[in-house]
Amino acid sequence: MKLLKYLILIVCFVFPFKSAEADTVCLKDGGQVQGIVVENYQQSIVLSTINGEKRFDKVDVKDILYDKKEQNLVKLGDYYQQNRNLAKAYTYYKKAYELNPDYKEAKDKFIYIRSTLLRNPEKQFKDDMARKQALFKESGKLYNPKVDKISITEEERFKEATGLVLVSDNGMSKVVSVAPHSAAAESGMNAGDIIVSIWGRLTGYIDLGLIMEMILESPSPEIIMSVERRVVMHSSGKQVRSLDDIGLSLKMQEDGLTVSSLSRGSKAARSGLMGGDIITDIDGASVRYMPFSDAKSKISNSLFTGNLTFDIVRDLVLWRKEIRE
């Protein structure tokens, strides 16, 4: 614990004097690399540097010092959550969210921990009642003839609770099918979607079993997740002078190029885009480092020459259904 407090002091007092807008990856071999952490998976991170993007395996990383205070607060929240100190985790996630309400990871994790803390007493009560009922049955005071139960697999339990069938596709969790009228169908999830995060935690390169466990064992039936999806806008063969011609408004936010609004009945709306969608690729070209004006021009030019494809990330809320034991 003393070591943790010492590291916190380093982060809070030394880190602000570093150059602006730079995260630091501290390697176990003593080296340090500066840049911006653009992807943070369970086993690796991707750092954008002046020499391009670099991937580091977590086993080689000693620590990550973030430039922004809210990111360091989330990191502390993660530490306490992993050590099952939910009250402490809640405090740090809440501070991060209050500091930057637009920081999606802080918001998702704050909501998750708050929901967990609210439901813990309810779960404890149900567990206590189950134990008492078991003791009551064993004492012979309650007649309960033995009935053979048919066990179901984890995949069957997951499908019953969500309506989803998943496969691993190049390290990502891909939706194979969505059962009609299921929780996933009601959330707006489609076959072909890629689950990219659950409660703000990136799910790339995580085992499918753990993905299902994260959803099935969540203390709240309300699951906030993000999916990646391809949207196709068909060409009209006419010159698009501005995005207003197709009913699309964009803005650049902290999370990326975002759909701010759509005109009802417009070409953009009919394509399947929705307000709040984050556009990650336009016709296969990443927009991560693309200037805003270039992105708008690319959309206009692509629609004139042919169909236009967007890769988008969309936030969804899945209400998990009760399942058989």
**pLDDT tens-digit profile of 250-266?**
999 878 899 999 999 99
End-to-end CA distance of the chain: 40
In a domain, 228, yes or no: no
Q: What is the DSSP letter of 10?
A: I
Please compute the mean of the pLDDT values over residues 164-175 and round it to a whole number.
93
In a domain, 324, yes or no: yes
Query: So what's the pLDDT on residue 86?
Result: 85
Query: So what's the pLDDT on residue 235?
Result: 79
Query: So what's the pLDDT on residue 284?
Result: 92
DSSP strand pairing (222-233 vs 285-286):
unpaired
CATH number at 75 reads 2.30.30.100
Please compute the mean of the pLDDT values over residues 268-291 and round it to a whole number.
93
pLDDT > 70? residue 195: yes
Query: So what's the pLDDT on residue 120?
Result: 59
Task: Indicate if 93 and 206 belong to the same structural domain.
Answer: no
Q: State the chain's maximal CA–CA distance in angstroms.
A: 81
Task: Indicate if 291 and 200 belong to the same structural domain.
Answer: no
Please compute the mean of the pLDDT values over residues 199-209 and round it to a whole number.
88
Average pLDDT of the chain? Answer: 83
Please compute the mean of the pLDDT values over residues 164-172 and round it to a whole number.
93
Task: Indicate if 267 and 189 belong to the same structural domain.
Answer: no
Task: Indicate if 179 and 215 belong to the same structural domain.
Answer: yes
pLDDT in tens, 118-137: 765 555 545 555 555 555 55
Which of 18-22, 68-72, 90-94, 224-228 has the highest mean predicted lDDT (pLDDT)? 224-228
Decide: residue 72, CB within 10 A, 0-12 exposed, 13-18 middle, 19+ buried.
buried
In a domain, 161, yes or no: yes
Task: Indicate if 296 and 325 belong to the same structural domain.
Answer: no
pLDDT > 50? residue 5: no
Q: Where are the strands (E) in the chain, listed by range?
A: 23-27, 32-40, 44-49, 52-57, 61-65, 164-169, 172-178, 194-198, 201-202, 222-233, 248-253, 256-262, 278-282, 285-286, 308-319
Query: So what's the pLDDT on residue 154?
Result: 86
Domain span at residue 10?
2-111
pLDDT > 80? residue 149: no
CA distances from 146 to 131, 143, 199 (A): 18, 10, 40
- Bin 213: left if φ > 0, else alpha if -120 < ψ < 50, else beta: alpha
Task: Indicate if 216 and 325 belong to the same structural domain.
Answer: yes
Q: Are 44 and 54 in contact (CB under 8 A)?
A: no
In a domain, 206, yes or no: yes
Task: Indicate if 198 and 281 belong to the same structural domain.
Answer: no
Task: Indicate if 211 and 253 belong to the same structural domain.
Answer: no
- Phi, then psi, of 232 in degrees rounded to 5: -110, 130
Task: Indicate if 208 and 324 belong to the same structural domain.
Answer: yes
CATH number at 216 reads 2.30.42.10
Rounded Cα distance, 273 and 228, in Å? 12
Cβ neighbours of residue 205 closer than 8 Å, sequence gap 6 or more: 41, 42, 43, 44, 171, 172
pLDDT > 50? residue 207: yes
Query: So what's the pLDDT on residue 102?
Result: 86
Structure-derived torsion over alpha carbons of residues 170, 171, 172, 175, reported in degrees to the nearest 10:
70
pLDDT in tens, 7-47: 433 344 343 334 456 899 999 999 999 998 888 888 999 99
Cβ neighbours of residue 21 closer than 8 Å, sequence gap 6 or more: 36, 67
Query: So what's the pLDDT on residue 240?
Result: 79
pTM above 0.85, yes or no: no
Query: So what's the pLDDT on residue 306?
Result: 80
pLDDT in tens, 106-116: 888 888 888 88
Cβ neighbours of residue 1 closer than 8 Å, sequence gap 6 or more: none
Look up residue 206 and give its two tokens.
């995580």
User: How many independent structural domains does the chain possess?
Assistant: 3
Element (H, E) at 180: none
pLDDT > 90? residue 313: yes
| Per-residue confidence band for 241, with pLDDT thresholds at 50, 70 and 90 | confident
